Amino acid sequence: MFRARDQVENEQWLATLDRIGDRLDLGAAARSRATDLFLSTLPESERSKQATLAASVYVGALIEGERRSQGDVADAAGVSRLTIQKRWKELIEEAGLRRPNW
């Protein structure tokens, strides 16, 4: 769970999440899930926020049935596919969700 202050303090990152969502043509549910994941697992380091943001978008889309490839999300977010590959499973566990078994 996140605090309202987290949302206010990270408006810039959330605007970036919306731009990524636009590039990937994601619906409102996937964007909302990605926002919740990002704010609930917010890293301290500014450097880590970009990776967490990209992984949040990937997982949010996955959970909401708007699956996008790691490569497509990475391109839209300006990170490497490897960044998402390394971070998404950890993000799911941090959020208290179960990883898919495929």
CATH of the domain at 36: 1.10.472.10
| Average pLDDT over all residues of the chain | 90
Say how far apart CA 66 and CA 44 lie, in whole Å. 29
Instruction: Find where tokens 């636009």 sit.
Output: 22
Residue 99's pLDDT is 66
Say how far apart CA 102 and CA 89 lie, in whole Å. 12
pLDDT in tens, 16-31: 999 999 999 999 999 9
pLDDT at 55 over 90: yes
- Count structural domains, the chain: 1
Residue 20's pLDDT is 97
Name residues whose C-beta falls within 8 Å of residue 26's C-beta, 6 or more positions apart in sequence.
Answer: 34, 57, 60, 61, 66, 68
Q: Is residue 71 part of a domain?
A: yes
* Residue-number span of the structural domain to which 18 is assigned: 4-94
Q: How far is CA 16 from CA 25, 93, 95, 98, in A?
A: 14, 24, 21, 26
